Amino acid sequence: MSLEGRFDAEAGLVYVGGDARQRYHDSRGYGYPISSNEIALSPVEAAHLLYRGDLEAVVDDADGTRLDFQAFVAREPGEGFGVRFLVYADLRSRGFYLSPADESWVEDPPTGEADFAVFPRGKGPGDGEIAYALRIIGERTDVPAGELAEGVLAVVDEESEITYFEVNREAPTGNSNPDVSLPDRCEADLLADRVVVWDPPLELYERLFYGQPLEGREYDRPTLQCSLLEAASLAERGAIDLDPATVRERGREVEGERFERRLAVYTELRERDVVPKTGYKFGADFRTYAAVESVSELDHSELLVRVHPADYVFEPRDLALDVRLAHGVRKTMVFALVDDDGGIEWWSLERLTP
């Protein structure tokens, strides 16, 4: 026999008595217990039970109206209810239990902008284990960088298709630290938007992967063309005979304040034993190599890095484009968010199939 629920609009909850606790919560992970029999459901949970026919109707406390699934969904005023219902129903169909992230009974509830706590497949709210925090948005909902949080971001497009992104906060690391020292003040010339380093030791390119050799010169000490970022890094460390401030000033002339953000990221990647090279052909700031022993034995780069200011606002469509491109070339998309003091937050996004 189907049960009926009671909708308290002020509390934003649907209460169900009878044997609801055993039928819906204990055996299938819906809602949270109020008593030995009664449970409270979020509107999305109630809508799902109505949709499946497990809950016969919901009676509105305010006016006594008896609501079926269609009437309940039409009356539910909560912002984003439609996209949350679609994702909730999709994950339920995949065998997951999930509960509103702000429920007081959820142990170690997710923080930030999460909508639901998703439990490992085969586990429920009473098992004390959360697989990940889930945030749900529509494709036109922008995401400020400050609202990024570890977990899963589900984006529902205008045709109700769902894309899941796994979001992690973790700085890149590598072991590209060969036992090779930088040279001392190699002769170099600053051109319009790059630097030429004359006759540096071969290891500067072959082992440390700075610059690109000038084609057509068969010497043991090649002539290297370096980007302004590479040149600024080398100048700061005394490896070329250019004033670091002069190189940085030229960088700002070429690309404005963006240069300083990119240089901060470039420098930190090198300090983390990761080798960054231009990501232009992939539409990114950098592609990176975690383990460079020799350029002649170079593996594929692992990451694409895009640099943004700390207050950047992401558009879901751009996120989808970046992540899809990185996936298509067997790389992970990483965003480096740089604050005014040069501090960096690292976020990676990858497509996820729950």
Q: Is residue 142 predicted with pLDDT exceeding 90? A: yes
Asked if 130 and 183 sit in the same domain, the reply is no
CA distances from 172 to 97, 117, 338 (A): 33, 27, 15
The predicted structure's pLDDT at residue 140: 94
The predicted structure's pLDDT at residue 201: 92
Q: Is residue 301 predicted with pLDDT exceeding 70? A: yes
Share of the chain above pLDDT 70, in %: 94
d(CA 343, CA 164): 29
Is residue 160 domain-resident? no
**pLDDT category, 180, cuts 50, 70, 90?**
confident
Asked if 12 and 130 sit in the same domain, the reply is yes
Asked if 194 and 94 sit in the same domain, the reply is no
Identify the domain boundary among 109, 138, 167.
138
Domain, as residue range, for 34: 3-138
Q: Is residue 105 predicted with pLDDT exceeding 50? A: no
Cα maximum dimension of the chain: 89
The predicted structure's pLDDT at residue 84: 95
CATH code of the domain in which 245 resides: 3.40.1170.20
Average pLDDT of every residue of the chain: 92
> pTM here?
0.90
Give the pLDDT mean for 37-43.
Answer: 93
**pLDDT category, 107, cuts 50, 70, 90?**
low
Give the pLDDT mean for 221-241.
Answer: 95
Asked if 109 and 203 sit in the same domain, the reply is no
Asked if 123 and 234 sit in the same domain, the reply is no
Among 73-82, 141-150, 163-172, whose mean pLDDT is lowest?
Answer: 73-82
**pLDDT category, 75, cuts 50, 70, 90?**
confident
Asked if 29 and 86 sit in the same domain, the reply is yes
Asked if 128 and 21 sit in the same domain, the reply is yes
Asked if 11 and 92 sit in the same domain, the reply is yes
Is residue 297 domain-resident? no
Asked if 110 and 17 sit in the same domain, the reply is yes
CA distances from 140 to 80, 133, 157, 329 (A): 11, 21, 8, 27
Asked if 134 and 245 sit in the same domain, the reply is no
Give the pLDDT mean for 327-340.
Answer: 96
Asked if 132 and 186 sit in the same domain, the reply is no
Identify the domain boundary among 223, 238, 266.
266
Is residue 313 domain-resident? no
Asked if 226 and 105 sit in the same domain, the reply is no
Query: How many folded domains does the chain comprise?
Result: 2
Is residue 286 domain-resident? no
Q: What is the dihedral of CA 231, 236, 240, 243, to 10 degrees?
A: 90
Is residue 334 domain-resident? no
- State the catalytic residues: 289, 300, 331
